[in-house]
Amino acid sequence: MSIREIEPGLLKEFLSGTKHCLHQQTAESLRASQAKGVKAKLLGLVEGGELLATAKVLFLPFKKIFYAVEIYFAPIFDESKPEVFSRFIDELLVYLKKDFRNIRFRIAPLIEEARISNELSRQENSLAKVYKNILLDRGFTELTLNYDEAAGIQAKYFYVKEFYDMSEEELRASFSTSCRNDMRKAKRFGVQVRFLEKGEEDIFNRMMQATIKRTGMPEFTVNYLHGEEFTIYGESMLVPLAYIERSTSLATLEAELSDLTKEFTELDARQETKRIRSKKNELKEAIQAAERRIKQVNEFCDEHGEAVNLACSQFFITKSDMIYLQSAAYQEGFVFSPVYAIHDLMFKLAFERGVSRYNMFAVSSPFENTGADTDVLSFKENFKGEFIEFIGSYEKKLRLSWLQ
């Protein structure tokens, strides 16, 4: 066995036979990193011409002439074979130590330690300790910082919604009541969603800067969009933008008001009974609510414009996952539930693309729930999924420890 650089075509063929792979470990991701000027290599463990494990490896500049080596959620391999992982690590260490400039190696394997329900019941992966010991026995140290506490730390927890045996109707019925209500609310207001194209990345980036300012989230956790990514990733990267347009929104709301008024008028012409009186009272409240929504839209557009961007997200699609990487939103648009309009569409698209796992990506520990992203975690839990706990991020000093 040996570690060597491999061609992107071989990676694509290899990934077709794997269960899960995140966007960071695709051939497109390699090209995107290189387009940003990052030194990145696609390395594989090969035996007899057969690729057994692979990872995109980043070589990040450190103190001008050195490199900090990092691997995110990899290697990709048959996880039932710890011996492959062990050999991959051994061979990779030999490979990295050949260049004196590589002084630190950090890795966050895509290996589950446990599945955790919303009720915090825990199902352990029996092999997790084996994999952790492989790293610890080779002098790696587990990093205890959360992903939003320091740059380069990968999330230990994901929040996912799996729907392998569900119909789309069953999936939506499984969401929380408040989640379904917010999706309906966005539709009622006539919130629209379209996908950004190359040349429109500033729409997302400006919105993200406003979000950072509003929330105080660390900027190093953000991936700003670059125009090259639209070309490189193609249809595997989607950036949905939720917006409200006065004319379309009013047409939707006024149609609803017209239907409610017509129904009330028809009931009012009938002989009044207790049931009809109750229904008329419900309709009166619904009519008043519809009128308030029309007023809200008019006041909002009077202040902000005829068409207003509300929220924007970045998604990646692999063969296994619809990955919700990040979101940005303007606070003044929260009343229209624009982020729920985005997820309403993206769940539908996941079904159309044949994906059965909606991966809402990084969250803090569900057992602490005191981090800066507490509100984000609460939002994701509305979709009634589960947590995946990974074995964590590990680091090993390769040489010249006095430079660290």
Give yes or no: residues 208 and 317 share one domain. yes
CATH number of the domain where residue 293 is located: 1.20.58
Tell me, yes or no, whether 100 and 185 share the same domain: no
Backbone angles phi, psi at 85, to 5 degrees: -60, -45
Q: Is the same domain home to 93 and 45?
A: yes
CATH of the domain at 331: 3.40.630.30
pLDDT number for residue 403: 47
Residue 241 covered by a domain: yes
Kindly state whether residues 229 and 356 are assigned to the same domain: yes
Contact 236, 176 (CB under 8 A): no
Q: Is residue 163 part of a domain?
A: no
First-to-last alpha carbon distance for the chain, in angstroms, is 32
Only one residue has tokens 């002989």, namely: 271
Query: Are both 355 and 367 inside the same structural domain?
Result: yes
Residue 176 lies in a domain: yes
Examine the domain organization and report whether 254 and 176 are in the same domain. Answer: no
pLDDT per residue of the chain (404 residues) written in tens, 0 to 9: 689 999 988 998 888 888 788 899 999 999 999 999 999 999 999 998 899 999 999 999 998 899 999 999 999 999 999 999 999 999 999 999 999 999 999 999 999 999 999 999 999 999 999 999 999 999 999 999 888 888 888 999 999 999 998 999 999 999 999 999 999 999 999 999 999 999 999 999 999 999 999 998 899 899 999 999 999 999 999 999 999 999 999 999 999 999 999 998 988 888 888 888 899 899 999 999 999 999 999 999 999 999 999 999 999 999 889 999 999 999 999 999 999 999 999 999 999 999 999 999 999 888 876 555 677 888 999 999 999 999 999 999 997 554 44
Number of structural domains (the chain) is 3
State the greatest distance between any 2 C-alpha atoms of the chain, in Å, as a whole number.
91
Q: Assess if residue 159 is contained within a domain.
A: no
For the four alpha carbons of 258, 261, 266 and 267, in that order, the dihedral sign comes to: positive
Q: Which two tokens stand for residue 388?
A: 């995946």
Q: Is residue 153 part of a domain?
A: no
DSSP string, 312-327: EEEEEE-SSEEEEEEE
Choosing from 304, 321, 346, the residue where a domain stops is 304
pTM of the model: 0.92
Residues 113 and 195 placed together within one structural domain of the fold? no
Domain co-membership, 210 together with 272: no
Q: Which residue type sits at 63?
A: K
Residue with tokens 């005829």: 306
SS (H, E, C) 224-270: CCCHHHHHHHHHHEECEEEEEEHHHHHHHHHHHHHHHHHHHHHHHCC
Please report whether residue 398 resides in a domain. Answer: yes
Q: Are residues 241 and 337 in the same domain?
A: yes
* Residue 372, pLDDT score: 56
Peptide bond into 75 cis (omega under 30): yes
| Domain annotation covers residue 158 | no
Q: Which of 304, 328, 353 is the last residue of a domain?
A: 304
Q: In this predicted model, what pLDDT tens digit does every residue of 241-287 receive, in sequence order?
A: 999 999 999 999 999 999 999 998 988 888 888 888 899 899 999 99
6 and 129 co-located in one domain: yes
Q: What does the pLDDT read at residue 371?
A: 55
The whole-angstrom separation of Cα 63 and Cα 112 is: 34
Distance CA 326, CA 262 (A): 43
Per-residue pLDDT at 368: 79
Are residues 50 and 176 part of one domain?
no
283 and 354 belong to one structural domain? no
For residue 181, what are the domain limits?
168-245+306-390
Inter-residue contact 158 to 391 (CB < 8 Å): no
Axis crossing angle, helix 274-304 with helix 246-268, rounded to the nearest 10 = 160
Measured distance CA(387)–CA(157) in Å, rounded: 6
User: Pairing between strand 141-142 and 394-397?
Assistant: antiparallel
Backbone φ and ψ of 219, nearest 5°: -65, -25
Give me the pLDDT at residue 402, please: 44
- Among 279, 304, 329, which residue terminates a domain? 304
